[in-house]
Structure 1
Amino acid sequence: MPTNDRLLLQILVLALLAASLWVLAPFWSALFWAGVLAFASWPLMPLLTRWLNGRTNAAAVLLTLGWMLLVAVPLVLLTMNLADHIRDGMDLLKDLQVQGLPAPPEWLGGIPLIGERLVRAWYTIDQQGAAFFASLKPYMGEVGNWLLARSAQIGGGLVELVLSLVLVFFFYRDGPRMAIFVRSALHRLIGVQADHYLALVAGTVQRVVNGVIGTAAAQAVLAMIGFWICGIPGALLLGLLTFAFSLIPMGPPLIWIPATAWLVWHGEYGYAVFLAIWGTFIISGVDNVLKPYLISRGGNLPLVVVLLGVFGGLLAFGFMGLFLGPTLLAVAYSLVSDWIAHDPALPPKPVVVSGLEPVVPEAPRP
């Protein structure tokens, strides 16, 4: 009978946990991002707490306000500039529809072997422009519906972002208690190995945060410098977009390639060549150097495991997988490595004592 009572209690506890997870399901994304933001900036929390004479709530409020300013100000600037550039883009499309393409540049016909063909193709596109825009009209309604759906997704993402910025305060304030709770629960589950895996998860997330965010910030600054040198309007907006697109694989070319095409369109061929070289070797090239260095620094995991976790996590879990993917792969890799290292079928390693011959411990009897 006591066994049945214990089994019933375990079933009730599992049902309670499942119901709790169900209640928290709509907030998983916001909780995850709040945890990532708090973890990435946690070294500032004890430092600020000491400066404020131990006032934890005040330190948490200041850090939360810092995140709000850091996120809200770029979003406001992005929204204001994006509206202007959408209006400019619509005006450009109207001009193309009415006036057609400008005359082809002189250098286009001077390209060896294919110059004349390119000029003829230019005039062909110009002559067929009206028919092209007419063929697009049936699809305008579908494009509008697609943009409306994307706008709804962006609105939902902004709501999650605001909720994350609110929840990050509680992660700052109650972080030590949360850490003690998680550590105690893991000790009950896996024993003394809990500290090892906690350190593994913390180190992996920290390196991925440093690698991804640090590389995105570097690419955004380099992109703004290139856009400013070339005199492209909205360099700040394009830099912010470069930061956002840097968080996905092969994202920055989606910003600097259209900017290069804009320079060609306005006849700035020298600046266009410069921006193409700058974008290929500087903006996009830094991703191949800085990100692997920041991710692999201070860790003993193979770099390929972390990189596969980053890219695979993005495909499997979306943007949240940027941090979730490498963490899962790192823990799985460590578990398999520990399991192989403690295989009882393998011969025991010799214990070397200084000044003596190696001693092989006797294998345990079955």
Structure 2
Amino acid sequence: MQSQYRLSTRMSRDVRDLFIRIGLIAMLVVFSYQVFQPFLELMLWSVILAVTLYPLQRWLQARLGLRDGRAATLIVVVALLLLLVPVYLLALSLSDSLDALVILLKSGDWSLPAPPDSVAGWPLVGPRLHAAWLSASGDLTSALHRLLPHLKGSGRALLGALANISAALLLFIAALIIAGICMAFGENGLSAAQRIAARVSGPERGPHIVKLCTSTIRAVAQGVIGIAFIQMLLVGVGFVAIGVPGAGILAFVVLLLGIVQLPATLITVPVIVYVFSTQGFDVATIVFAVYSVVAGLADNVLKPLLLGRGVDVPMPVVLFGALGGMVVKGIIGLFLGPVILAVAYKLFWLWVDEQRQEDVADLGHPD
């Protein structure tokens, strides 16, 4: 009787100690997450960039004989130049345009030309647009006063969008620098990832899970950038052929929109309107409009073809993961969604195959 009482007391003490340990671990995890949470998106982007660019680093090391740190530094410097130089030129062009606009407004010698007669023939919006344009061309000051309340709200929205774009650009630059540091210690990072995966899913599955995650991230990144680049070329060729001013800058904006998963029609539709208003309706402009619409929607066809190449899961899993992740978590969900869905898909079928192997073994060795 006394031994049973001691056993019961020991079990209750062990259970109490277990709950205390679980509580302390939970508190530690929650507090650690709260401390790390402001840097979570930055570190996720850094890991995604490091995984994507690491094969390029290995290629540079093999070709140029560079060390890990120097190859990673070279990649980061070139990437920053490719990113910042066009942004600087675009900002410089916008600054010059704003300066010219301010000078024009101060001089008072500004007016709006009368609209072409072809604008009135546009479907749906043509007559209203022609009337508003004609009224503004006669008295631009009164028209601006009427539009001023609407322009204030649009200006605030535009400033907010510019602030968000600037913050995203700074975040990407910081993530690129941290990714370079991660690539400099790429072998240690790979070993650590395999050890963590082996501890979570077992020594046999661990390396395979790590390989699946890295291949999925690279496939999505290469697919997104590759699709955006192809779309930039398609749209840019049309802009150059029809003679759109600033065709190169507009094509580069299409590339940026494709990378951040925004539709290229944000650029192609205004350009089509501009071409129709300046060159009228003829065979060349109509062909250009149809071509630009098709080129702007080409990503909807290319995504199912390019996403998921080289990944050991069906393409629909990667595609649904990318689209669903983007809806739930934005741009970063474009990468996290396919990784999570691919790992879940693979673990599910590994679990199914294990059960089937056990059933076969039981049938082969009956009691």
Given that 2:197 and 2:209 are in contact with CA atoms closer than 8 Å, whether structure 1 keeps it comes out as: no
Q: Give unpaired runs (5+ residues) of structure 1.
A: 352-358
Q: Kindly tell me the number of residue pairs found equivalent between the two proteins.
A: 345
Seen in structure 2, the aligned counterparts of structure 1 residues 347 and 41 have a Cα distance that, compared at 3 Å, is closer
1:361 and 2:364 aligned: yes
Counterpart of 1:61 (choices 53, 73, 83) is 73
Counterpart of 1:49 (choices 55, 61, 68) is 61
1:144 and 2:155 aligned: yes
Given that 1:40 and 1:209 are in contact with CA atoms closer than 8 Å, whether structure 2 keeps it comes out as: yes
Q: 1:277: Cα distance to partner? A: 2.1
1:204 and 2:216 aligned: yes
Aligned residues with identical type, % of pairs: 27
Q: Give unpaired runs (5+ residues) of structure 2.
A: 1-9
1:174 alignment partner in structure 2: 185
Seen in structure 2, the aligned counterparts of structure 1 residues 308 and 81 have a Cα distance that, compared at 3 Å, is farther
Counterpart of 1:243 (choices 230, 244, 255) is 255
Seen in structure 2, the aligned counterparts of structure 1 residues 235 and 152 have a Cα distance that, compared at 3 Å, is same
Provide the C-alpha distance between the structure 1 equivalents of 2:302 and 2:287, rounded to a whole number of angstroms.
22
Higher helix fraction (1 or 2): 2
Q: 1:304: Cα distance to partner? A: 2.3
SS of 1:296's partner is coil
Provide the C-alpha distance between the structure 1 equivalents of 2:211 and 2:311, rounded to a whole number of angstroms.
11
1:261 and 2:262 aligned: no
Q: 1:222: Cα distance to partner? A: 1.9
Q: 1:308: Cα distance to partner? A: 1.8
The residue identity in structure 1 corresponding to 2:117 is P
Given that 2:225 and 2:259 are in contact with CA atoms closer than 8 Å, whether structure 1 keeps it comes out as: yes
Provide the C-alpha distance between the structure 2 equivalents of 1:220 and 1:35, rounded to a whole number of angstroms.
27
Counterpart of 1:304 (choices 287, 295, 316) is 316
The residue identity in structure 2 corresponding to 1:222 is L
1:233 and 2:236 aligned: no
Given that 1:40 and 1:206 are in contact with CA atoms closer than 8 Å, whether structure 2 keeps it comes out as: yes
Given that 1:227 and 1:235 are in contact with CA atoms closer than 8 Å, whether structure 2 keeps it comes out as: yes
Q: 1:230: Cα distance to partner? A: 1.3
Q: 1:248: Cα distance to partner? A: 5.1
Provide the C-alpha distance between the structure 2 equivalents of 1:123 and 1:67, rounded to a whole number of angstroms.
46
Q: 1:259: Cα distance to partner? A: 0.7
1:292 alignment partner in structure 2: 304
Q: 1:312: Cα distance to partner? A: 1.6
Write the deviation string for residues 291-316 of structure 1: whole angstroms up to 9, x where unpaired: 32222323342322222222221121
Q: Structure 1 residues 19-28 or 31-40, which shifts more?
A: 19-28
Provide the C-alpha distance between the structure 2 equivalents of 1:162 and 1:348, rounded to a whole number of angstroms.
53
The residue identity in structure 2 corresponding to 1:187 is A
1:157 and 2:168 aligned: yes
TM-score (norm 1): 0.80
Provide the C-alpha distance between the structure 2 equivalents of 1:182 and 1:19, rounded to a whole number of angstroms.
23
The residue identity in structure 2 corresponding to 1:146 is A
The residue identity in structure 2 corresponding to 1:183 is Q
Provide the C-alpha distance between the structure 2 equivalents of 1:67 and 1:128, rounded to a whole number of angstroms.
49
SS of 1:147's partner is helix
Counterpart of 2:37 (choices 9, 21, 25) is 25
Given that 1:104 and 1:122 are in contact with CA atoms closer than 8 Å, whether structure 2 keeps it comes out as: no
Counterpart of 2:231 (choices 219, 222, 225) is 219
